[in-house]
């Protein structure tokens, strides 16, 4: 969460003399992001993707309010760093999917894990 706040602050305070955002301004940015998320999905609560990719979405929402971006601006310049971000997002997706499978049917999930463990052991 601290990384997200630093990212939001660095985007919104460019060209201003105030290095920190007030709580009210941060609340406005987060509220705006949640509002648009609810409108886009039609859900009253934040979706699970908002939690998984929320840091990226909030920073993108704040950045686009202050500066319009062209296609050249959005192209990744450091492909290695971009791949690392994609891998971390994929890892969080994998963890989230496993949690959901366990919540839906714990017995089946644990049975699948047990089968995988037995297959990986030498005979």
CA separation for the pair 110, 98 (Å, rounded): 11
CA separation for the pair 34, 89 (Å, rounded): 20
Task: Return the domain boundaries, the chain.
Answer: 1-75, 77-123
Q: What pLDDT was estimated at residue 109?
A: 93
Best-predicted range by mean pLDDT (26-30, 89-93, 108-112): 108-112
Contact residues for 100 (Cβ-Cβ < 8 A; gap 6+)? none
| Average confidence (pLDDT) over 48-57 | 61
- Band the pLDDT of 74: cuts 50, 70, 90: confident
Contact residues for 101 (Cβ-Cβ < 8 A; gap 6+)? 108, 109
pLDDT, tens only, 95-116: 989 999 999 999 999 999 999 9
Q: What pLDDT was estimated at residue 110?
A: 93
State the average pLDDT for the chain: 75
- Band the pLDDT of 32: cuts 50, 70, 90: confident
Record the pTM: 0.47
pLDDT, tens only, 2-24: 444 445 555 555 555 555 567 77
Share of the chain above pLDDT 90, in %: 24
């Amino acid at each position: 969460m601290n990384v997200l706040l630093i990212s939001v602050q660095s985007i919104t305070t460019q060209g201003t003399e105030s290095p920190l955002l007030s709580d009210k301004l941060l609340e406005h940015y987060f509220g705006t992001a949640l509002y648009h998320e609810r409108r886009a999905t039609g859900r009253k609560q934040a979706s699970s993707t908002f939690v998984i990719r929320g840091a990226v979405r909030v920073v993108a929402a704040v950045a686009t309010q202050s500066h319009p971006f062209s296609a050249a601006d959005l192209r990744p310049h450091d492909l290695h760093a971009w791949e690392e971000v994609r891998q971390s997002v994929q890892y969080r997706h994998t963890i989230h999917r496993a949690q959901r499978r366990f919540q839906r049917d714990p017995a089946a999930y644990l049975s699948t894990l047990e089968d995988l463990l037995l297959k990986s052991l030498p005979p």
